[in-house]
């Protein structure tokens, strides 16, 4: 029973943090874009516009609920629900920090350590297509359908390269569990004792990181791969007909996906909660707090990298996108995997 209570508390707090992170990502996105374009950004609601996300969310609740005449009512409502559900479920296998002792028991900061953790994330990622496809089709709008079909083709194409990169990482670690992948990275880099806690996969697999980052951008439908919602040709993309909280769910799901992608990148390439000098901290509670803080710093860094890329690079054309995904990233990922295998076997 204690176990269930402990996990329930963890689940509720992870879910709450996910929502808060997604809300403040919208604020950060606007502030960061404003900074890059030499503007001020939201600054009326609260100090630095910090209350802006609450104002936006509150507005969503009271907007008119509009469903066009010719759309499939049930699927039209189900679409954003599916998008939100698949986005929120992926956080279950992320290790947020090391185990610590409290209330006379060991508490693990991971909702579930199933031994196929990374595949679980891939599974929910592949289900994310449905939210967009169903919403786009149910709207009975030509722009939405185009956008849905483009987005799903794009997402499935980039999933392949992503899968091959994950295989490369699994070959180095020998486990599909994210917890093991993180623990593997706590050692000393290149066996130099001074670099303890810095044994991150990025130093062994820089190419894999670049490919993975590109795929993550494409999976989240973020610029420069936001062809699903390119305003100039498809109006609003798959959510052209949406309003009120249903639109909010689509936008929210995108930011949650971005948060989870950043977390996965930080976890499998940048050592998760590991940081240099962590062996010096004796107090287990302090260590846990520090580790969680470090992980969140890494996550925020990657979220900002996503935004920086969005406001820097122009959008790809569709044939360029497909060309990049199939003809460049997949062969590169396979070659990277084979070289990694050969090098590990040779040493």
Distances (CA, A) of 181 to 232, 282, 290: 42, 23, 19
Which of these segments, 46-54, 75-83, 277-285, 289-297, binds other proteins (CB under 8 A)? 75-83
Reading the block at residue 196, the tokens are 């303890």
| Residues 135-174 within binding reach of other proteins (CB under 8 A) | 137, 139-146, 149, 152-153, 156-157, 159-160, 163-164, 167-168, 170-171, 174
Q: How far is CA 229 from the centre of its chain?
A: 19
Reading the block at residue 328, the tokens are 């460049």
| Residues 42-61 within binding reach of other proteins (CB under 8 A) | 60-61
Count the site residues for other proteins by CB under 8 A. Answer: 91
Please state the closest distance from residue 224 (CB atom) to other proteins, in A.
17
Site track 190-229 with other proteins (rule: CB under 8 A), x = hit:
----------------------------------------
Is 251 near other proteins (CB under 8 A)? Answer: no
Q: How far apart are CA 273 and CA 197, in angstroms?
A: 10
| Residues β-bridged to residue 102 | 105
Rule CB under 8 A: choose which of 68, 187, 224, 276 binds other proteins.
68
Is 259 near other proteins (CB under 8 A)? Answer: no
| Residues 90-129 within binding reach of other proteins (CB under 8 A) | 92, 111-116, 119-120, 122-123, 126-127, 129
Please state the closest distance from residue 106 (CB atom) to other proteins, in A.
13
Backbone CA torsion sign across 273, 274, 279, 280: negative
Is 318 near other proteins (CB under 8 A)? Answer: yes
**CB contact set of 193 (below 8 Å; sequence gap of 6+):** none
Q: Are 117 and 91 in contact (CB under 8 A)?
A: no
Is 7 near other proteins (CB under 8 A)? Answer: yes
Which of these segments, 22-30, 77-85, 261-269, 276-284, binds other proteins (CB under 8 A)? 77-85
Distances (CA, A) of 276 to 58, 109, 262, 280, 326: 42, 20, 20, 9, 38
Using the structure block, give the residue that is written with the tokens 């909280």: 245
Q: Between residues 96 and 249, which has the closer beta carbon with respect to other proteins?
A: 249
| Residues β-bridged to residue 105 | 102
Reading the block at residue 346, the tokens are 């040779």
Is 183 near other proteins (CB under 8 A)? Answer: no
Ramachandran region, residue 221 (left: φ > 0; alpha: ψ -120 to 50; beta: rest): left
Rule CB under 8 A: choose which of 39, 48, 54, 63 binds other proteins.
63
Q: Are 95 and 109 in contact (CB under 8 A)?
A: yes
Rule CB under 8 A: choose which of 55, 107, 130, 195 binds other proteins.
130
Is 17 near other proteins (CB under 8 A)? Answer: no
Which of these segments, 25-33, 215-223, 281-289, 326-334, binds other proteins (CB under 8 A)? 326-334
Which of these segments, 205-213, 239-247, 273-281, 295-303, binds other proteins (CB under 8 A)? 239-247
Reading the block at residue 141, the tokens are 């709008």
Reading the block at residue 135, the tokens are 């919403």
């Amino acid at each position: 029973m204690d176990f269930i209570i402990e996990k329930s508390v963890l689940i509720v707090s992870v879910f709450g943090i996910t929502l808060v992170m997604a809300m403040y990502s919208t604020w950060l996105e606007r502030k960061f874009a404003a900074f890059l374009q030499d503007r001020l950004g939201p600054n009326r609601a609260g100090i630095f516009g910090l209350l802006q996300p609450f104002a936006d969310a509150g507005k969503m609740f009271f907007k008119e609920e509009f469903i066009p005449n010719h759309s499939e009512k049930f699927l039209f409502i189900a679409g954003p629900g599916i998008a939100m559900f698949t986005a929120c479920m992926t956080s279950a296998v992320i290790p947020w920090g090391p185990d610590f002792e409290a209330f006379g028991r060991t508490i693990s900061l991971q909702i579930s350590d199933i031994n196929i953790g990374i595949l679980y994330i891939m599974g929910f990622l592949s289900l994310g297509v449905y939210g967009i496809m169903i919403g786009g089709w149910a709207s009975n709008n030509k722009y939405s359908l185009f956008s849905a079909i483009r987005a799903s083709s794009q997402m499935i194409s980039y999933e392949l390269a992503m899968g091959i990169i994950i295989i490369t990482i699994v070959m180095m670690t020998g486990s599909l569990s994210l917890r093991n992948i993180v623990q593997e990275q706590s050692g000393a880099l290149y066996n130099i004792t001074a670099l303890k806690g810095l044994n991150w996969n990025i130093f062994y697999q820089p190419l894999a990181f670049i490919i993975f980052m590109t795929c993550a951008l494409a999976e989240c439908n973020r610029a420069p791969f936001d062809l699903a919602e390119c305003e100039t040709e498809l109006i609003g993309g798959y959510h052209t007909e949406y309003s009120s909280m249903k639109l909010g769910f689509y936008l929210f799901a995108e930011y949650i996906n971005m948060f989870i992608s950043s977390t996965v990148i930080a976890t499998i390439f940048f050592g998760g909660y590991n940081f240099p000098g962590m062996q010096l901290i004796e107090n287990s509670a302090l260590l846990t707090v520090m580790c969680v803080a470090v992980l969140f710093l890494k996550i925020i860094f990657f979220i900002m990298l996503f935004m920086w890329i969005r406001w820097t690079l122009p959008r790809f054309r569709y044939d360029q996108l497909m060309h990049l995904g199939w003809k460049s990233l997949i062969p590169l990922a396979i070659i990277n995997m084979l070289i990694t295998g050969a090098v590990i076997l040779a040493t």
